[in-house]
Structure 1
Amino acid sequence: MRLPGTRYQEPGWEEVRKLLGQCSLALLRAARLTLGLDDYVDGMARQLRAQRRSARAQASGNSYGDSVLELALALVYELRARAADWDALCAALAAEGDGIADALLRKKANDMYALLRDKVDADNYQAACGRPCSPNRIYAYRMLDTAYGEIARLFAGWEQHRAQVGAILGRAIDGGVPIEVRQLRAIGDCRPEWLLRWSETLERYTGTIGPLHTRSKRFASLKTSPDKIGAMLREIGEYEALSANRDHDWLQDLDDASVWMEDYWRVLQAAGDATPGPDRILEAREDEFAPADDEQAAPAPDDLPDAAADAGRQARLETIAATVSLPPGYMLAAARAEDRQSWAARTMAGDGLAVRLAVYARLLGPDDDSFPDAWRDPASGELPTMQQLAALAEVSLPTLRKRRDAAIARLQAATLLKGG
């Protein structure tokens, strides 16, 4: 059963229950039923982790990928926040005395965890949906999901269970496959009247009383409310369909991409050793961004300082470069290696070299093949990190990020202007 926020599902819960019962029995017997809550939780965590390599612990606990061990540990830790459940278990064990049988001890521990499971799932459901939900309602969802599974099993083997299936459908089955058997494809297709009749037939065909026909008042409201049953079945079905994560919509895209790649490689192989001609597209783009004859050239970046006038700043930059594990003279060598007549450099002429390097790293990645060696950090073979560039620019890291983002925005605006 899948519902928003819930994690404990019936197929995996059986293994979670057995693992918790096994560890609880061993721990409580060893401590002679005298553990406090904190000691019990810590001891259970150790017991469960000791079982982490067992087949049961590693088994799948639900359809979301959680293992039995993960679900069991989560429930044990939840017990710290719900001391009343632990107190109820202690009271039940005290009433039985020291001579309590192992089977009864395990059952009482499992009953505590079953109640705790419903409380946890109910709280998570409310947090996910914003709708009120009690532990009893979560238990009712589980019962309906289990009932649907039984009905689907009977429908699948309708020939062997002809009489019971006929009782569920409310009519005798004569001839071939009943149309309802073909119509039942998911829980949302299950009709409330089928579920009510299924519960009624259990005592006749299996000897056990159906969940909707016991003396318990837990499902009393459902027995007289088929509309409520139908709404709950549809809710389970709708969320299961929503969360199934089937990639049917992407299969066609996958096929199209595969065919495109096959065509691409076929064309390349057919070309053989043919010499490719000039790249007209790149030439057109370069012409587009080239400055017009009457366009005043933007001022060149001022990252190449006059050595005599700015010797102090150069010495300071060399010291900073050494502190961030860059070679001395890094800024001077990087500035000399930059193509200052490129469109990007002219557009960002007002920004420092550190900002421009940050822009290039952001747009092209830190290890683009077009970067000159003088720009790269010898230790990594990539552009310096943002922390290194911020130190070289003598600004804080947030300030460098703001300047980098502003420069990228100007580049994008200039690109749109050129394109317009």
Structure 2
Amino acid sequence: MRLPGTRYQEHGWEQVRKLLGLCSLQAFRQIEMHQVLDPGQHATLLDAYTDAVAASLRANARTARGEAEGNSYGESVYELSLGLLYELQAQPAYWSAFAAAMASEHARSGAFWRDAAAEGVLRKKVNDMYATLRDKVDADNYIVATGRDCSPNKIYTYRMLDTAYREISGLFAAWEQHAAQVGAILGRPPAGTPIEVRQMKSIGGCKAEWIIRWSETLEQFGGSPGPLHTRSKRFASLKNSVDKIAALLAEIGDYEELSANMDSAEEWQGEAGEAALWMEDYWRVLGESEQAEASGLPQDEDRILAAPEDDVDDEAPADTGDVFDDTPAPDEAQLAAEQSRAEELSLPLRYLEMARAAQEAGSWTVRMLHDESLPIRLAVYHKLLGVADDTYPDAWLDPATGELPTLQQLAALDQISMPTLRKRRNEAIARLQAAGAR
């Protein structure tokens, strides 16, 4: 997504957050992390963190990730990462919020940053810090570029609408496989190839009514409420507000059309990770919004929401060798059957066995999905985080693609049909959402 003045809203953000996460983990091994427990030491700790991360970023400047294109304006991932790091020093409130989140986790788990198995937790907290700072930086630059008011939450709203458009575009492109949902979005059953499939070439051609109907269809077809159809008041001003949505869509479309070095549509359609990242961010923000409403706190639309401690993905899977849970280990006959199914799907023979062993013991998500099979659990991550994420253990991935197995493969591994897999996956996601909202 492009907007005037913004630098961090494009496809390169995924690599920026991964590089900052990697360098942050390296920095945490060098600095006195126990100082997060003392507010009086936060400024000193921020200086040490900035120096350590900057050195690590410079060491990664010539790597493939560091040199990768960060946005359409010629800035590399390294340059964007270094710039956001120094923005953190200029706006230390975001570091203070991060330190408070770390102290809160310490109260529950002790000095968890010393545990290699907790890298997923550390990455998640770093991601949350930089994601909120990113939107503040881009909102400020948008104001400078346009002279119009803009809050970080408005940037977040732009991103939601851009993601919605790309989701709708994907459904339109495969309308035959999604005929019922496409019909609900269009407001009529498709008879032959809908003309809208050919006409919608950019976000400027996306109708506001489709955004509203898309959100409405998500609970039925995706298993979770859409952003305009939750209890949260975050998008209350947009609910059924066709004019407001149309104006925001038009602004994104107009600027992207004017952008002289705009990427090709095909390249943008391929950025599935961007949508997955937005959905992860969406559940983080939605969770805190609902918690605030339930407690009767006022809703300040211009404030940055911190990550709730019980976020669905707060303890994303880390690459560890810990035992997954206390589920009885399969016997030899079961393992042989599993290996046979894996071989038929061109997966490693011991795929299920190794994938079970690679899961993070004791995480919140693991506890919530304790009764689900491994393929169902992976289908949940498939839906919420996408087919590829840097927190996934290698043992979860299909070596041929470097991604999670397809839903078809997961259904075959579980010896169930695709409709049954989707049903159980959606029920599991609903339980996670219900628990996270409490």
Matched, 1:99 2:112: yes
Native 8 Å contact 2:168 2:214 kept in 1: yes
- Where does structure 2 lack aligned partners over 5 or more consecutive residues? 36-43, 263-438
Matched, 1:138 2:155: yes
Q: 1:28 maps to what in 2?
A: 28
Q: How does 1:124-163 map to 2 (within 5 A)?
A: 124-163=141-180
Query: After TM superposition, where is structure 1 displaced by more than 6 Å over at least 4 residues in a row?
Result: none
Deviation at 1:135, TM superposition (A): 0.4
Q: How does 1:211-226 map to 2 (within 5 A)?
A: 211-226=227-242
Deviation at 1:239, TM superposition (A): 0.8
Matched, 1:19 2:36: no
Q: 1:117 aligns with which of 134, 144, 154?
A: 134
- Where does structure 1 lack aligned partners over 5 or more consecutive residues? 247-420
Q: 1:51 maps to what in 2?
A: 60
Distance between the aligned counterparts of 2:50 and 2:11, measured in 1? 25
Q: 1:172 maps to what in 2?
A: 189
Matched, 1:205 2:225: no
Distance between the aligned counterparts of 1:109 and 1:245, measured in 2? 31
Distance between the aligned counterparts of 1:165 and 1:41, measured in 2? 48
Deviation at 1:32, TM superposition (A): 4.6
Q: 1:39 aligns with which of 32, 44, 48?
A: 48
Distance between the aligned counterparts of 1:106 and 1:32, measured in 2? 18
Q: 1:244 aligns with which of 247, 251, 260?
A: 260
Deviation at 1:208, TM superposition (A): 3.1
Q: Against the structure 1 CA distance between its residues 234 and 107, is the aligned structure 2 distance closer, same or farther, given a 3 Å change threshold?
A: same
Larger C-alpha radius of gyration, 1 or 2? 1
Distance between the aligned counterparts of 1:158 and 1:71, measured in 2? 37
Q: 1:287 maps to what in 2?
A: none
Q: 1:80 maps to what in 2?
A: 89
Map Cα deviations across residues 66-94 of structure 1 (whole Å, 9 max, x no partner): 11111111100111110111111111101
Q: Against the structure 1 CA distance between its residues 245 and 72, is the aligned structure 2 distance closer, same or farther, given a 3 Å change threshold?
A: closer
Higher RCO structure, 1 or 2 (CA under 8 Å, sep 6+): 2
Distance between the aligned counterparts of 1:10 and 1:213, measured in 2? 26
Native 8 Å contact 1:212 1:219 kept in 2: yes
Q: 1:5 maps to what in 2?
A: 5
Deviation at 1:199, TM superposition (A): 1.4
Q: How does 1:16-415 map to 2 (within 5 A)?
A: 16-33=16-33, 34=35, 36-97=45-106, 98-99=111-112, 101-174=118-191, 176-245=192-261
- What is the DSSP-based 3-state SS (H/G/I as helix, E as strand, rest coil) of the residue aligned with 2:55? helix
Q: TM-score, normalised by structure 2?
A: 0.54
- What is the DSSP-based 3-state SS (H/G/I as helix, E as strand, rest coil) of the residue aligned with 2:112? coil
Distance between the aligned counterparts of 1:17 and 1:200, measured in 2? 31
Q: 2:270 maps to what in 1?
A: none
Report the AA paired with residue 209 of structure 2. E
Q: TM-score, normalised by structure 1?
A: 0.56
Deviation at 1:224, TM superposition (A): 3.4
Native 8 Å contact 1:9 1:61 kept in 2: no
Distance between the aligned counterparts of 2:167 and 2:78, measured in 1? 27
Report the AA paired with residue 25 of structure 1. L
Native 8 Å contact 2:2 2:10 kept in 1: no
- What is the DSSP-based 3-state SS (H/G/I as helix, E as strand, rest coil) of the residue aligned with 2:214? helix
Aligned-residue sequence identity (percent) comes to: 66
Native 8 Å contact 2:32 2:45 kept in 1: no
CA RMSD of aligned residues (A): 1.6
Deviation at 1:245, TM superposition (A): 4.6
Report the AA paired with residue 197 of structure 2. V
